[in-house]
Amino acid sequence: MAGLSLKGIRKNFGSAEVIKGVDIDIAPGEFCVFVGPSGCGKSTLLRMIAGLEEISAGELSIGGRVVNDVDPSERGAAMVFQTYALYPHMTVARNMGFGLRMNGVPRDVVDKRVREAARILQIEDLLKRKPKALSGGQRQRVAIGRAIVRDPEVFLFDEPLSNLDAELRVATRLEIAKLHRQLDGATMIYVTHDQVEAMTLADKIVVLRAGRIEQVGTPMDLYHRPANLFVAGFIGSPKMNFITVETRSQGDETVATLPDGRTLRLSGAQANQVKTLGLRADQLERAQGDAPLTGVVAVVERLGDADFAWVRTEWGQEIAVRFPGGTTPDPDEPLALRLSGRTHFFDADGIALPEVSIAPAKD
Amino acid sequence: MTTASRTPMRRRRPSLLSPRRRRLVVSILLAALCAAWIYPMLWMVSASLKTNAAIFADPGLIPSEPTIENYFRAWTEARIGAYFFNTLFVTIGSVIIVTVAAAMMGYVLGRRQFPGRGLIFGLLVFTLFVPQGYTIIPVLGLLSAVGLGQSLWGVMLATCGGSFVIFVMLFAGYFNQMPDELEEAARMDGVGMVKTFWFVMLPLSQPIIVTVIVMQTLYAWNDFLLPLVVTLANPAIRTLSVGVYAFKGENFVDWGGMTAASTISILPVVILFLFLQRYFIAGLAGAVKG
């Protein structure tokens, strides 16, 4: 088990800079997820940690040792590839033991470690099969088994679930979470574009965009206290509703005007800088009488335990609202909504203004 | 073919022939074409079982008085037996050298980026346009320079060059389309380039290996011009194709002996192809599909 430290890591492909100075500290035993839209550099960053891509600038240390120029196999990291990368002509057992065998580990030691990994992953009865004869989920396990056999300091996962169907993806996600506990909290770095995977697996999430870190934090940190508009929109499903507002000072308080002319009174030091109001679907409630938001239900998505209604406001924007199952309005029904729970405010640059809040109602 | 399940679609299209009839007609046409194609070979085998006098007197394919005397004469007097083993030596040796060398070169060209790679590819392709006739004398010169001008080893080495470039291209194309992750996984496992090539990439290129073995065997076994020139001064190291040609004298052609020798010489190739055709076709199809 070892921690990692990335200091000012940069990567250039020719003249294009794809990783633009990344600093992350990952504690020993931590499950760290890199998440971001495609092309944000998360896989490149993982491959740089693995040693498959050179580091253009900065310093990478694993377990306190700088490994910028260390061979991939010497870094103590094992990687699970998106496409599994199993050797098609070898049996599962040979696939898992190949690296050890090639490095001169005695056959009986290799066999023992392969059997132990197979036991952890419950693939003992597959050891004699070739990858062709395995299902996607089984191949995934073998790929993970190949990493376990090496007994690495750090496990690296590159979108390991993206080739599985939806049901299997959920099941394997749970397996990986269990595995993390089972392996005495081995350090794991996991790359995904799926924010649900990130939220459910991670101790620490690193949100990346265009080669830069947008925010680092625990899943709940990111959900409740997003640092900017991008993170707020990326984490959570459905996406956070953003409403553009105009602010003006009125006496000693700030008033924010919604696009339809209704107003909200804001408090907090930076209230006059607010440009965007952020509301999650579960932070809106049906209201009676006077309410800050009104609209007409456009579409309803029923999930059983909860439903999502897409409400078209008077200025034409559709906002998502979560209703407990069975209380959902029907399409075309007019609806008044009030804000409940946390609201988020962002300035003109999209940076969160955590001190701003809705002013308490005056008596 | 599940014709039954397709009939609803087909019924709408008026056709003179039912699918079954159409298949029958196509089969007959193809069989006729095959017969025409294979006739010279059948004639050769038939003639080898007739005496020289009977070959042109008895035009039928089935000999009235079959004899294997031609085979004895060819094997011993015309030294076809010795030539057979010469050819075997040249073929096996060149197949081993060509397969190993082409696979290694194809691997590097197909998977490694290095300065001058494009130039090397260009030069290799360029050599495909040089007719064999132009290269024989320089090749002979090279062989003489290293002291192999009059030896079977020389014939073997020279035979390696025939389709080498095509084989390199086949391997390069095949290795090029293999996923990078296989090599990266091996790299993460601490497996070096040579071992990765030998234990991971080479076994996966089995279809191409079979294709190369079959094509090089055919080429080495049947090549005529190059062995003719190299063995001109030394009849003892002749190969079969050159040996067969020796049946044609200035005033007399021993058709019986020549056809018997020819039959002996094509037999191994036919057997090899029968055994390997499945892999061979798979390899070529795989290379084309990319």
Inter-chain touch A85–B179, beta carbons under 8 Å? yes
Contact (Cβ atoms closer than 8 angstroms) between residue B267 and residue B195: no
ipTM here: 0.81
CATH for A326: 2.40.50.140
The total of structural domains in chain A comes to 2
- Write down which residue in A179, A208, A234 finishes a domain: A234
Chain A residues within 8 A of B204 when measuring between CB atoms: 87-89
pLDDT digit string (tens) for A279-317?
999 888 888 877 888 899 999 998 888 889 999 998 999
Residue in chain B lying closest to A90 (CA): B200
3-state secondary structure A44-74: HHHHHHHCCCCCCEEEEEECCEECCCCCHHH
DSSP string, B214-254: HHHHHHHHH--HHHHHHTTT-GGG--HHHHHHTTB-SS-B-
pTM of the model: 0.80
Same domain, A224 and A351: no
3-state secondary structure B150-187: CCHHHHHHHHHCCCHHHHHHHHHHHHHCCCHHHHHHHH
Q: What sign has the CA pseudo-torsion B204, B207, B210, B211?
A: negative
Q: In angstroms, rounded to a whole number, what is the distance separating the alpha carbons of residues A34 and A211?
A: 11
Neighbours of B250 (CB within 10 A): 5
Q: Choosing among A52, A54, A110, which should be mutated to test the B contact, i.e. which has the most B CBs within 10 A?
A: A52
Same domain, A122 and A181: yes
* Residue A363 in domain: no
Quote the Cα angle for A348-A351-A357, to 5°.
Answer: 90
Residue B2 is predicted with a pLDDT of: 45
Residue B290 is predicted with a pLDDT of: 37
Inter-chain touch B191–A103, beta carbons under 8 Å? yes
Q: In angstroms, rounded to a whole number, what is the distance separating the alpha carbons of residues A121 and B35?
A: 60
Residue in chain B lying closest to A148 (CA): B189
Any bridge partners for residue B248, and if so which?
B253
Q: Which of A185, A184, A95 is nearest to A144 (CA)?
A: A95
Q: In angstroms, rounded to a whole number, what is the distance separating the alpha carbons of residues B290 and B288?
A: 5
* Residue A264 in domain: yes
The residue type found at A20 is K
Residue B3 is predicted with a pLDDT of: 46
* Residue A181 in domain: yes
What are the structural domain ranges in chain B?
Answer: 3-57, 75-289
Q: How many angstroms away from the CA of A279 is the closest CA of chain B?
A: 42
* Residue A298 in domain: yes
Q: Name, in order, each residue with C-beta under 8 angstroms of A82's C-beta and a sequence gap of 6 or more.
A: A158, A159, A160, A162, A163, B181
Contact (Cβ atoms closer than 8 angstroms) between residue A64 and residue A1: no
- Write down which residue in A207, A234, A261 finishes a domain: A234
Domain B75-289 maps to which CATH number in 1.10.3720.10, 1.10.1530.10, 3.30.1330.60, 1.10.10.10? 1.10.3720.10
pLDDT digit string (tens) for B25-58?
999 999 999 999 999 999 999 998 988 888 888 7
* Residue A77 in domain: yes
Q: In angstroms, rounded to a whole number, what is the distance separating the alpha carbons of residues A18 and A255?
A: 41
Residue in chain A lying closest to B189 (CA): A99
Tokens 């938001």 appear where? A293
Which whole number is the average pLDDT over A246-259? 87
Which residue range(s) make up the domain with A161? 4-234
* Residue A169 in domain: yes
* Residue A193 in domain: yes
Q: Which of A348, A337, A361 is nearest to A241 (CA)?
A: A337
Same domain, A39 and A83: yes
DSSP code at position A132: G
Judged on CB neighbours under 10 Å (0-12, 13-18, 19+), A362 is: exposed
Same domain, A218 and A258: no
pLDDT digit string (tens) for A79-106?
999 999 999 999 999 999 999 999 999 9
Residue A362 is predicted with a pLDDT of: 59
Judged on CB neighbours under 10 Å (0-12, 13-18, 19+), A221 is: middle
Contact (Cβ atoms closer than 8 angstroms) between residue B282 and residue B207: yes
Q: Which of A104, A106, A180 is nearest to A148 (CA)?
A: A180
Same domain, A167 and A269: no
Q: Name, in order, each residue with C-beta under 8 angstroms of A236's C-beta and a sequence gap of 6 or more.
A: A195, A223, A280
Inter-chain touch A79–B203, beta carbons under 8 Å? no
Same domain, A302 and A347: yes
pLDDT digit string (tens) for A11-66?
999 899 999 999 999 999 999 999 999 989 999 999 999 999 999 999 999 999 99
What is the residue-averaged pLDDT of chain A? Answer: 91
Same domain, A190 and A164: yes
Same domain, A310 and A184: no
Residues of chain B with pLDDT under 50: 1-7, 288-290
* Residue A20 in domain: yes
Same domain, A212 and A327: no
Same domain, A180 and A266: no
Inter-chain touch B188–A71, beta carbons under 8 Å? no
Chain A residues within 8 A of B190 when measuring between CB atoms: 71-74, 99, 102-103
Q: In angstroms, rounded to a whole number, what is the distance separating the alpha carbons of residues B164 and B172?
A: 12
Helix, strand, coil tally for chain A in percent (to 5): 30, 35, 40
Tokens 């290269």 appear where? B135
Same domain, A215 and A307: no
Q: How many angstroms away from the CA of B187 is the closest CA of chain A?
A: 7
Same domain, A289 and A260: yes
Residue B13 is predicted with a pLDDT of: 59
Chain centroid to Cα B273, Å, comes to: 9
pLDDT digit string (tens) for A172-223?
899 899 989 888 878 999 999 998 999 999 999 999 999 999 999 999 999 9
Quick check: helix, strand or coil at residue B78?
Answer: coil
Chain B residues within 8 A of A51 when measuring between CB atoms: 187-188
Q: In angstroms, rounded to a whole number, what is the distance separating the alpha carbons of residues B43 and B22?
A: 31
| H helix intervals, chain A | 42-50, 92-102, 107-121, 136-149, 166-182, 195-201, 219-224, 229-234
Residue A341 is predicted with a pLDDT of: 81
- Write down which residue in A190, A208, A234 finishes a domain: A234
Residue A112's alpha-carbon distances to A90, A124, A149, B261, in angstroms, are: 18, 12, 9, 60
